[in-house]
Amino acid sequence: MDARPTTSPFGEDEMTQLLDKEQKSPKCWDRHQCTLISAALLLTAGVALWVHALLRPRTFASNTFMVLLGLDRTTTFVLEEKPLSDQRTYQFATLQNGLEVLNIEDPQSHKTAMAMAVRAGSYDDPRELPGLAHFCEHMLFLGTQKYPDPSGFDQFMSKYAGSNNAFTSKEATVYFAAASSEAAPEGLDRFADFFRAPLFQKEFVKKEVQAINSEHQKNVQSNLRRIFELLEEQANPESVAGRFATGNMETLYDIPSRNGTSPVDALKVYFKNRYCPEQMRLVTFGPQKLAEQLELVSKAGFQNLPKGVKACAESKRSFEEPNPFPASRMGKSLLVKGTEAIGSLWLHFQMPPLNREYKAQPLSYLNYVVNYGGVNSLKQVLSDKLGLIADVGMEEQTDSTGTMCMVVFETTKLGFKHPQVILDVFFAYLAAMRAAGVDMELYKSIQDMVKLKWDWKQQDDAFETVSNLAEAMTRLPREKLLSGDRLIEKPDPELLSSLIERVEPNNMNIAQVAPPEVGDKLLKDSGKKIRTLEYYGVKYIEQSVAEAFPKLKRWSSWMKGTDNKQIVQELQESLKAAGLDAGDVQLLPKLPGKIEGIPKKVPLDHMKLPILLTKMRGAQQSATEQLFGPLPVRLSLDLPSDKTMVMLETPKNRKDDVWFRGGWTMKDPKVHLAVGLRRLRTELEPEATALDSVRFHIYQQLLNEDIAPKLFDVTQAGSSYGFNLGFGGLTVDFVGYQEALPNLIQKVLTAFNSFNENIKATQTRRFKRIVGTYEEELMTHGGMPSSYASQDIERLLVRNTFSNEESLAAVKQLSSDQALRTAGEFVLSRTLQMTALAIGNVADLQSTDAMRDIASMVKRPSWVTPRPAPENAAVEEVMPVVHVKRPVEVRSLNPRPGDPNDVAVVTILHGVSDVPSRCILNLASSLLGTAAFDNLRTQQQLGYVVGGGMSSISNVLFMRVVVQGTKVDADEAEAAIEGLLTTTMPKILNDLTNDDFKRQVSSMKQQLLEPPLAASDEVGHFWGHIMQGGRCMDLLDKILAFLDSPQCNKELLQQTWNNLVFGTNKEGGSPSLRKKISVKYFPSEAEKKAQNRITLKEAQKLWKKHGVSPKAMDLLAKEWEQTKVVAKSDSKARKELIEEGGYFPTDLHCGAVDPSGASHEAVMRKVTKSIDRGDAMLHSQGAGKSRGSK
Is a pLDDT exceeding 60 seen at residue 1170?
no
Higher pLDDT, 611 or 862: 862
What does the pLDDT read at residue 897?
85
Mean pLDDT over each residue of the chain, to the nearest integer = 88
pLDDT of residue 53: 32
Tell me the percentage of the chain whose pLDDT exceeds 90. 80
112 residue type, one letter: T
Beta-bridge partner residues of 328: none
Contact at 8 Å (CB) between 567 and 431? yes
pLDDT of residue 1177: 22
Higher pLDDT, 367 or 5: 367
DSSP state of 813: T
Q: Report helix, strand or coil for 167.
A: strand
Phi, psi dihedrals of residue 218, rounded to the nearest 5°: -65, -45
Q: For strands 902-912 and 76-78, give the pairing.
A: unpaired
Q: Write down the pLDDT at residue 1131.
A: 98
pLDDT per residue over 277-334, tens digit each? 999 999 999 999 999 999 999 999 999 998 878 889 888 888 999 999 999 999 999 9
User: For residue 1108, is pLDDT > 60?
Assistant: yes
Beta strands in 864-979 (DSSP E): 888-893, 902-912, 945-953, 956-965
| Cα(1162)–Cα(1159) distance, integer angstroms | 5
Q: Give the model's pLDDT for residue 29.
A: 28
Edge-to-edge strand list for the sheet holding 956-965: 945-953, 956-965, 902-912, 1076-1082, 888-893, 1124-1126
The whole-number pLDDT of residue 68 equals: 47
Half-sphere exposure of 1164 (CA within 13 A, CB side): 23
Count of Cβ atoms closer than 10 Å to residue 798 Cβ: 15
Region of poorest pLDDT, from 263-277, 812-826, 1066-1080: 1066-1080
DSSP one-letter string for 616-644: HHT-PPPHHHHHH-SPPEEE---PPP-TT
pLDDT value, residue 1065? 65
pLDDT for 732 equals 96
Report the C-alpha gap between 217 and 785 in whole angstroms: 12
Query: What pLDDT score does 685 carry?
Result: 87
Output the pLDDT for position 13.
32
How far apart (Å, rounded) are the C-alpha atoms in residues 799 and 681?
Answer: 15
Residue 1146 has pLDDT above 50, yes or no: yes
- In 255-361, alpha helices (H): 255-259, 263-274, 290-299, 310-313
Instruction: Report pLDDT digits (tens) over 910-958.
Output: 999 999 999 999 999 989 999 999 999 989 999 989 999 999 999 999 9
| DSSP state at residue 596 | P
**What are the tens digits of pLDDT across the range 1052-1087?**
999 999 999 999 765 556 789 999 999 999 999 999
For residues 697 and 46, the model is more confident at: 697
Non-local CB neighbours of 254 within 8 Å, separated by 6+ positions:
none
Q: Please, which pLDDT band fits residue 127 given cuts at 50, 70 and 90?
A: very high
Cα-Cα-Cα-Cα torsion 790, 793, 799, 803, nearest 10 degrees, comes to 70
pLDDT computed for residue 313 by the predictor: 87
Q: pLDDT per residue over 536-583, tens digit each? A: 999 999 999 999 999 999 999 999 988 889 999 999 999 999 998 877
**Average pLDDT estimate for 424-429:** 97
Whole-number pLDDT of residue 1148: 92
Mean pLDDT, rounded, for 81-85? 96
* Number of other CB atoms surrounding residue 966 within 10 Å: 17
CA distance 144 to 1061: 36
Q: Which of 20-34, 609-623, 823-837, 1045-1059 has the lowest mean pLDDT?
A: 20-34
Spatial neighbors of 1060 by CB under 8 A, at least 6 apart, are 908, 910, 921, 959, 1074
Residue 71 binned pLDDT confidence (cut-offs 50, 70, 90) = low
- For 482, list phi and psi in degrees, rounded to 5: -90, -20
Beta strand 111-118 with 280-286 is antiparallel
139 CB-near residues (< 8 Å, 6+ apart): 198, 200, 204, 205, 208, 264, 267
Q: Among 356-360, 878-882, 1131-1135, 1150-1154, which stretch is predicted with the lowest mean pLDDT?
A: 1150-1154
Q: How confident is the model at residue 535 (pLDDT cuts 50, 70, 90)?
A: very high
pLDDT at 651: 52
* Whole-number pLDDT of residue 593: 97
Residue 1149: pLDDT band with limits 50, 70, 90: very high
Residue 683's pLDDT is 82
Residue 1067's pLDDT is: 55
SS3 assignment, position 513:
strand
What local confidence, expressed as pLDDT, does residue 208 receive? Answer: 93
- State how far the Cα of 581 lies from the Cα of 255, in Å rounded to an integer: 57
Burial of 730 (0-12, 13-18, 19+ CB in 10 A): buried
**Greater confidence, 838 or 644?**
838
Q: Which regions of 966-1117 does DSSP assign to beta strands (E)?
A: 1076-1082
pLDDT over 90 (residue 636): no
Collapsing DSSP to helix, strand or coil, 105 comes out as strand
Per-residue pLDDT reduced to its tens digit, 169-225: 999 999 999 999 999 999 999 999 999 999 999 999 999 999 999 899 989 989 999
pLDDT at 388 over 70: yes
CB of 880 within 8 A of CB of 1146? yes
What pLDDT is recorded for position 1169?
Answer: 31
Q: Are 290 and 204 in contact (CB under 8 A)?
A: no
Find the mean pLDDT for residues 86-110.
96
Q: For residue range 19-66, what is the model confidence (pLDDT) as tens digits?
A: 232 333 322 323 333 333 333 333 333 333 233 333 333 332 344 444
> What local confidence, expressed as pLDDT, does residue 314 receive?
84
Residue 644 binned pLDDT confidence (cut-offs 50, 70, 90): low
Q: What is the pLDDT of residue 746?
A: 97
What are the pLDDT digits (tens) for 330-351? 999 999 999 999 999 999 999 9
Inter-CA distances, 898 with 515, 803, 890, 1085, Å: 14, 21, 20, 9
